[in-house]
Structure 1
Amino acid sequence: MKRSILFDTETTGLDPASGDRVIEIAALELVDDLPTGNHYHTLVDPERDVPAEATRVHGFTREDLHGQPKFAEVAQGFLDFVQGDPLIAHNARFDFGFLNAELAACGLPPLESSRMVDTLEIAKKRFPGLPNSLDALCRRFEIDLSARTTHNALLDCKLLAEVYVELMGGRQRGLGLMHQSGGRGGVATYVRDPNRSPRRMAPPSAEEDAAHAAFVGTLKEPIWLR
């Protein structure tokens, strides 16, 4: 069975080179591209302020993070969880950049780029010319976004896990995923959910409509305009 790790971070800003730091790490274990239920999650004291613009994105203030462990205290636990397996993230270069900056500050080796699996790049190849943010992909695959009021790393991981299954080929509608046994060797299998009713296709957003129109405009005699 193939093990991989899907992960996400939240940070104080956009650039570790300018002093921005990691404030949250979440990671889910996948076996054969399906979640096993095993996960890693921690908040991190960034040892600096959290700008208001960053708080508007993820909801965390400096006070929320006071007393949380520092990155140096959680680094080894994170590395032990991810081991040497492939690392999946949306816009993975951003998360790799932050984690490698934090690891370097602790005197630890970086995450190798050869382990990187970027779902944003996968989505761009599958849906060229369309919006491919996590929100846009969730809407495209009819994944419930009602709980996503801010960027929370653990929730984003759970949503991305559903998106990743769809990007890798999808699964039968009307089937639910049930984890039958724990641990790295846990078995994940599909069981029919008798209470699950079919969901209606979510309408495209204005941004998606505009992107689609622009893409169609590049085609010769597109069937959409007949």
Structure 2
Amino acid sequence: MKITFLPDTYTVEELSVTSLMDRTYCIFDLEGTGIDTTVESITQFGAVPYKRGAGLGESSFSSLVRASKQIPAAVEKLTGITNDEMLKAPHFNEVYEQFCSFIGDEVLVTHAGYEYDLPMLERHCQEYGLTMLTNKVLDTKAMFTYIHPEVTDVVSTDFLIQYYDLNTEGIHRHDALEDCGIIARIFECVLDEYEKRGLDHFTADASKHMKRFVIPEMYLKKENEGVTE
């Protein structure tokens, strides 16, 4: 898969996933010290199996990851992950090995993973001298954008929660494992739309552009002493 980043959008090529309705997937999500994938550090992995019609699997994977930098106070508050917890958290290479063992060769599903989770993983793998995973990855943001060219908003998690009228009351947002549950519900809604349109595949198309997320004000340098996520 090839992801090409432009100033405000990105495109995807060299990816095709067939038999969308019948597969077992693995939903995954990451939390980090910030949004800038070139400098920030992963703080948490979450993953859970999913099959349409059967819902989430009984097994799941969740682990903190020791960050290589301090978590800004605003991010501690947002995620609930503290710098004190980082002192005892396992290092990335340990958690990544466990994560890869858990996901196996399943097709992965994420949200905004093409612009955040995958670049973060790739950079960390390079820094630790590890092999980047080769699983096919579906992104609910891209899947939604492909069938809704009329939508001009940035397709964020919050946008899709509102679009599909999902009830997230009581869910700890920005916890990697709990966010996997939200992604799974969004993915199910997207699959329902694909089925209604007679689509049972996702094929990347370089002519389709996804709008990149906008960095929230809480992460801007002028507001957070150099924080860029």
Instruction: Give the TM bin, normalised by the shorter chain.
Output: 0.5 to 0.7
Aligned AA (2:45): I
Query: 1:65 Cα shift?
Result: 2.3
Residues 1:47 and 2:71 are matched in the alignment: no
Deviations 1:18-76 (A, max 9, x none): 2x110011011123573222211111111321122322432322113220111122121
Looking at structure 2, the residues matched to 136 and 51 of structure 1 have their Cα atoms a distance apart, in angstroms, of 25
Aligned residues: 168
Secondary structure, in 3 states, of the residue corresponding to 1:29?
strand
2:97 aligned counterpart, secondary structure: helix
Distance in 1 (alpha carbons) for counterparts of 2:97 and 2:172: 31
Are the equivalent residues in 2 in contact too, given 1:47–1:70 (CA < 8 A)? no
The answer to whether residue 146 in structure 2 is matched with residue 159 in structure 1 is: no
What's the TM-score once normalised by structure 1's chain length?
0.67
What is the CA-CA distance between 1:148 and the residue it aligns to?
A: 4.3
Give, in whole Å, the separation in 1 of the partners of 2:24 and 2:56: 10
Q: Which runs of 5+ in 2 are unaligned?
A: 1-21, 194-229
Q: Give, in angstroms, the shift of residue 14 of structure 1.
A: 1.9
* Contact 2:66 2:88 survives alignment (8 Å): yes
- The aligned runs of 1:164-203 (5 Å cut-off) are 164-169=187-192
Cα distance change of structure 1 residues 140 and 16 upon mapping to structure 2, 3 Å threshold: closer
- Please say if residues 27 and 108 of structure 2, whose CA atoms lie closer than 8 Å, have aligned partners that are also in contact: yes
2:29/2:47 contact within 8 Å kept? yes
Give the structure 2 partner of residue 97 of structure 1: 119
**What are the superposed Cα offsets for residues 106-158 of structure 1, whole Å, 9 maximum, x if unpaired?**
3221123x712111111223342245321221222232122246411111110
Between structure 1 and structure 2, the one with the greater Rg is: 1
Structure 1 position 25 matched with structure 2 position 50: no
The equivalent residue for 2:196 is none
Which range moved further: 67-76 or 132-141? 132-141
Report the residue type matching 1:24 in the other structure. Answer: Q
Larger RCO (CA under 8 A, 6+ residues apart): 2
1: distance between equivalents of 2:66 and 2:155?
A: 31
Aligned mates of 1:35, 1:160 — CA distance in 2: 11
AA aligned opposite 2:167 = D
- The one-letter code sitting in structure 2 at the alignment partner of 1:64 is E
- Cα deviation, residue 15, structure 1: 2.6
Give the alignment's Cα RMSD to 1 decimal: 2.1
Residues 107-186 of structure 1 correspond to what in structure 2 (within 5 A)? 107-112=129-134, 115-127=136-148, 128-130=151-153, 132-148=155-171, 150-169=173-192
Tell me the residue number matched to 1:78: 99
Tell me the TM-score normalized by structure 2: 0.66
Matching residue's letter, 1:111: L
Q: Which amino acid counterpart does residue 109 of structure 2 have in structure 1?
A: I
Counterparts of 1:147 and 1:30, CA distance in 2: 21
Q: Contact 1:86–1:117 at 8 Å: present in 2 too?
A: yes
CA–CA distance in structure 2, aligned partners of residues 169 and 161 of structure 1? 12
Q: Which amino acid in 2 is paired with 1:30?
A: Y
3-state SS in 1 of match to 2:26: strand
Which structure has greater helix proportion? 1
Amino acid of the residue matched to residue 137 of structure 2?
A: M
